[in-house]
Homo-oligomer: A and B are copies of this chain.
């Protein structure tokens, strides 16, 4: 690449009004059209934000310090920038955009920071939890496609916090995987396992994001939920979770993960005749049932294209869609 100044669009005399077009001009030689577009929009929004709020030097300095703290508290097991994205609703938004769902398929939600690759493959009926204080819960699910056909051989990750609201990786003495497992759907698209009834818990709030929540007068709690992740070649990767109806934080999740279609009514095994004997659990065991519906890669690609077309139709410029993503059409 030729980075000599002579090839670069010259910056004009900079003012509050023209700084944006000047930054875009300097960035205009970026050889990756999608990256160029993202930086064009990012710069424009960032500058518009500063102009319309008349952001002060002192506020800018506080922002620089805040972002630095967010970066510096990150470790191999703590991702404060994801937490920041979560509490601003960005994570949920990006997941919803990137994984569009047709009606009647299972919606996705935030991954959260506690998924690991350590979970063991369990058999149907095994317990994912060693927590003696957790309230026992039988989880019975099916996985189908959008034409209601069972999907066998799906790799299913499940993970949940323990009765104290902690994931295994958050415990000081964490050595073995607990509260998580990998399962596989059978030929009927069925899987079941024993777990504990999830409880609400706070997201890590001892860092800059926790400070921010307090300044915004927000609590750090997530409502009770159990995470699920579904992977099978040919199907769009589904990251989701089930939430318990009636949780005190159901309508104020700190990370905006709750969607109505993912809220379930917890039952009791004795509610369903014969279930206790069939699954070999006590009749008083709580019961969580859910039928997941996966979307094929093809359906997802078609939907993504359609949604991208809807979006660019709103924009007053020539755009095209490459791999499902909009970029300006300069041909």
Chain B residues whose CB sits within 8 angstroms of the CB of A3 once the complex forms = 217-219
Chain B residues whose CB sits within 8 angstroms of the CB of A74 once the complex forms = 68, 71-72
On whether the beta carbons of B50 and A93 are closer than 8 Å, the reply is: yes
Chain B residues whose CB sits within 8 angstroms of the CB of A98 once the complex forms = 54-57
Instruction: Say yes or no for A51: interface residue by CB 8 A criterion.
Output: yes
Could you tell me the distance between the alpha carbons of A90 and B79 in the complex, rounded to whole angstroms? Answer: 26
Instruction: Say yes or no for A233: interface residue by CB 8 A criterion.
Output: no
Instruction: Say yes or no for A119: interface residue by CB 8 A criterion.
Output: no
Instruction: Say yes or no for A14: interface residue by CB 8 A criterion.
Output: yes
Could you tell me the distance between the alpha carbons of A80 and B323 in the complex, rounded to whole angstroms? Answer: 33
On whether the beta carbons of B11 and A256 are closer than 8 Å, the reply is: yes
On whether the beta carbons of A42 and B49 are closer than 8 Å, the reply is: yes
CB distance from A140 to the nearest CB of B (A): 25
On whether the beta carbons of B10 and A251 are closer than 8 Å, the reply is: yes
On whether the beta carbons of B13 and A259 are closer than 8 Å, the reply is: yes
Chain B residues whose CB sits within 8 angstroms of the CB of A22 once the complex forms = 89, 256
On whether the beta carbons of A215 and B35 are closer than 8 Å, the reply is: yes
On whether the beta carbons of A89 and B256 are closer than 8 Å, the reply is: no
Most chain B beta carbons < 10 A, residue from A5, A85, A95? A5
Could you tell me the distance between the alpha carbons of A35 and B15 in the complex, rounded to whole angstroms? Answer: 26
Number of interface residues of A (CB under 8 A): 93
Chain B residues whose CB sits within 8 angstroms of the CB of A71 once the complex forms = 67-72, 74, 81
Instruction: Say yes or no for A43: interface residue by CB 8 A criterion.
Output: yes
Chain B residues whose CB sits within 8 angstroms of the CB of A38 once the complex forms = 53, 55, 59
Chain B residues whose CB sits within 8 angstroms of the CB of A251 once the complex forms = 5, 8, 10-11
Chain B residues whose CB sits within 8 angstroms of the CB of A314 once the complex forms = 52
When C-beta atoms are compared, the residue in chain B nearest to A25 turns out to be: B252
Residue contacts A-B, CB under 8 angstroms, 13 given:
A3-B217, A3-B218, A8-B219, A26-B218, A26-B256, A32-B215, A35-B216, A45-B49, A54-B326, A57-B99, A60-B90, A67-B70, A69-B71
Known: A14-B96, A31-B217. 18 other contacts (CB 8 A): A5-B221, A5-B249, A8-B218, A11-B251, A13-B260, A13-B261, A14-B92, A19-B92, A45-B45, A47-B93, A52-B326, A54-B308, A67-B67, A67-B70, A68-B74, A70-B71, A72-B72, A72-B74
